[in-house]
Structure 1
Amino acid sequence: MSALFSPITIQGVTLKNRIVMSPMCMYSCMDEDGILTDWHRTHYISRAVGQVGLIMLEASAVTPQGRISNQDLGIWGDEHIEGLKELVTELKKQGSKTSIQLAHAGRKAEVDGDIIAPSAIAFSEKYKTPQEMTKDMIKETVQAFVDAAGRAKKAGFDVIEIHGAHGYLINQFLSPLTNHRTDEYGKTKEGRYLFLQQIIDGIKEVWSGPLFVRISAEEYAEGGNHVDDYVEYAKHMKEQGVHLIDCSSGAVVNVPLNLYPGYQVPLADQIKKEAGIATGAVGAITTGLQAEEILQNERADLIFIARQLLKDPYWARTAAKELEVELEAPIQYSRVW
């Protein structure tokens, strides 16, 4: 039996297969209001028709200030719920489970006005220098994540993912490269974890479903975090009730990456085994055979597919044919599937 096309149940939610549409920003909100557009509907529903087990919406900003760009999807206000709820309903009609990634860009925000970060260090000379967050700002931002989780629940999502990777705000707190604070939110590994800890605790008060966290498990820079550090963080997250660690890497500081097929899979493998928590593998996974090997050897529990799903909305069908698996088709396509 194919591991890729076997179901998995996480915190009471059963995915029909192990394929996850990885969150990928579309930068397609037209009026800088973060409201879902027709493009988003077409983009996500087509992948659900293609039989992806879990559709994860792109990074959705918990505050207007926390957007990567003015065209980012938002979940900072109740006005966002209606469109998200409609999309969730349509995705579930196709048999997919649904998720949204809650995000704040921090010092990597490219929006008008002041931007914020744990420390006043710009990402590069092309970016604005952020304002160092006060403790009141930290408290308000934690609450923004919690409020966004409440809206995700009202919209009917099955899974929530916290974006703690790729050099965005949570990652900026976690990394000694970007967090030079001298108060309780800095100085030590435990201090740098406190911001994420408070976000997880707050979300758990309003959300009882599956909770994932995306991390940059390797920062590829001297003085930064490495996978051994994230094993320890993952243990803390597990204790707090996180159900899966989505293991990406990089983008905390601007360093070149050595990319090759499955280059991040060892990170998911090590965290899964050493922290004793389910993981998702992501990054340059392009074929069904490659995904199958990862799962059969218990190197991860879910396969997050990004660029391949942009190239081929029916990647699940492509992988099934490669693995000689009979994949049920939407009835409208049954003649040619």
Structure 2
Amino acid sequence: MPASVDTLFRPFRVRSMELSNRIVMAPMTRTFAPGGIPGEANAAYYRRRAEGGVGLILSEGTVIDRPSSRNHPGIPFFHGDEPLAGWEGVIDGVHDAGGRMGPQIWHTGAVDGPPAGDWTPDAPVESPSGFDAPGVERGAAMSDTAIADTITAFAKAAGEAKRLGFDTVELHGAHGYLIDQFFWAGTNRRTDRYGGMTIRDRSRFAAEVVAAVRAAVGSDFPMILRVSQWKQQDYAARLAETPELMADWLQPLVEAGVDVLHCSQRRFWEPEFPEIDGENGLNFAGWAKKLTGAVTISVGSVGLSGDFMGAFGGQGSTTVGLDKLVERMERDEFDLVAVGRALITDPHWVDKVRSGNAAGLKGFEAAALAELV
């Protein structure tokens, strides 16, 4: 580890939420909620990370109240009496441990999920234009009514998060899921107000979701939006090839009410536009902050040698130093950093980093994705 990690442990505030440090637990799908209901094991899982010193915990993806909004039966709901009671137990446990937490709410769109036996979605999957990826048809194009009902469902879920006592809420607008399918020209071929030739046009659906969520949670409740250039359908996909296009994409979302942009990269140290500022230039979160003025979270293989998607192919990762991360945070390139697999492997990762216990940090084995530890 670098000589000092003090920059990671500076307090931070956004709207009503105060954080003790700059380390965020990244949302990681676990598919461990039978019947869509989080139970005691889920609550204990999150509480252990709060006890281990994480500044902000973001939950695994939780689905809104729409038909076929999830692509695996183990993904939890964020609607209905039993699931919401389960989530109330989760946030109460995190608060008892001194932590802060927000649920990530999403709709998986037309993306197929991991193997789940004989299970199938409870309704035909829906997406902007009936495509999972460019040239890959799956499901049905959303009607105007379906779009309006989906916007309402996002807002209702966010309102429930505030009612239950969560500290923030994150909308999943990345990785090729529903909101991201509206951004992506390859999956959004609509010719109405939710489509169009430009990224600004295709951001309208997301902006309306954000505005509806802001109306539901009020002015002081922080809202996070996760975004990415890459898609699980296409690692090389890019929504914005230039800073100008990135501003066209992200600025309307900030104007609609987003406080924090959670900028997903597979490797956080890679520059977003090296042709402009070189091989050590700003990463995705750095450019997003520069262009919009929003708070940003960077993420992507923090503390580990391999990227997240490799883990699903059975690849492990060894630990790596945090020097590159500390250097970028010391110059305030971005505000917060999200850590994923390292926190699955070790709920006390944050405390070990704080204490300088480099020898105690663990690598990542893909098998850890199948365990609650």
TM-score normalised by length of structure 2: 0.78
Taking a change above 3 Å as real, the CA distance of residues 239 and 137 of structure 1, as seen in their structure-2 partners, is same
Q: What does 1:214-233 correspond to in 2, within 5 Å?
A: 214-218=226-230, 221=236, 224-226=239-241, 228=243, 229-233=245-249
Aligned to 1:131: 140
Aligned to 1:320: 354
Three-state SS of the structure 2 residue aligned to 1:182 is coil
Instruction: Tell me how far 1:124 sits from its aligned partner.
Output: 8.7
Aligned to 1:121: 131
TM-score normalised by length of structure 1: 0.86
Aligned to 2:52: 50
Paired residue type of 1:291: L
Taking a change above 3 Å as real, the CA distance of residues 248 and 120 of structure 1, as seen in their structure-2 partners, is same
Q: Indicate whether 1:291 and 2:325 are aligned.
A: yes
- Deviations, residues 28-65 of structure 1 (Å, cap 9, x unaligned): 1123xx11023312211111110101111111000351
For residues 261 and 245 of structure 1, the distance between their equivalents in structure 2, rounded to whole angstroms, comes to 14
Three-state SS of the structure 2 residue aligned to 1:108 is coil
Is contact 1:217-1:226 (8 Å) kept? no
Taking a change above 3 Å as real, the CA distance of residues 128 and 311 of structure 1, as seen in their structure-2 partners, is farther
For residues 240 and 129 of structure 2, the distance between their equivalents in structure 1, rounded to whole angstroms, comes to 17
Taking a change above 3 Å as real, the CA distance of residues 320 and 74 of structure 1, as seen in their structure-2 partners, is same
Aligned to 2:340: 306
Paired residue type of 1:231: A
Q: What does 1:1-337 correspond to in 2, within 5 Å?
A: 2-31=6-35, 34-62=36-64, 63-110=66-113, 111-112=120-121, 113-123=123-133, 129-188=138-197, 189-208=199-218, 209-218=221-230, 221=236, 224-226=239-241, 228=243, 229-249=245-265, 260=267, 262-263=269-270, 266-286=283-303, 287-322=321-356
Instruction: Tell me how far 1:81 sits from its aligned partner.
Output: 1.8
Gaps of 5+ in 2: 114-119, 272-281, 304-320, 359-373
For residues 244 and 130 of structure 1, the distance between their equivalents in structure 2, rounded to whole angstroms, comes to 31
Taking a change above 3 Å as real, the CA distance of residues 8 and 180 of structure 1, as seen in their structure-2 partners, is same
Gaps of 5+ in 1: 250-258, 325-337
Instruction: Tell me how far 1:312 sits from its aligned partner.
Output: 1.5
Taking a change above 3 Å as real, the CA distance of residues 154 and 268 of structure 1, as seen in their structure-2 partners, is same
Paired residue type of 2:247: V
Aligned to 2:368: none
Instruction: Tell me how far 1:109 sits from its aligned partner.
Output: 4.4
Taking a change above 3 Å as real, the CA distance of residues 145 and 10 of structure 1, as seen in their structure-2 partners, is same
For residues 243 and 261 of structure 1, the distance between their equivalents in structure 2, rounded to whole angstroms, comes to 21
Is contact 1:29-1:72 (8 Å) kept? yes
Taking a change above 3 Å as real, the CA distance of residues 162 and 86 of structure 1, as seen in their structure-2 partners, is same
- Deviations, residues 241-276 of structure 1 (Å, cap 9, x unaligned): 211100014xxxxxxxxx656337711111111222
How many positions carry a matched residue from both structures? Answer: 312
Paired residue type of 1:28: F
Instruction: Tell me how far 1:87 sits from its aligned partner.
Output: 1.2
Q: Alignment identity in percent?
A: 29
For residues 241 and 295 of structure 1, the distance between their equivalents in structure 2, rounded to whole angstroms, comes to 25
For residues 15 and 237 of structure 1, the distance between their equivalents in structure 2, rounded to whole angstroms, comes to 24
For residues 338 and 57 of structure 2, the distance between their equivalents in structure 1, rounded to whole angstroms, comes to 10
| RMSD, matched Cα | 2.3
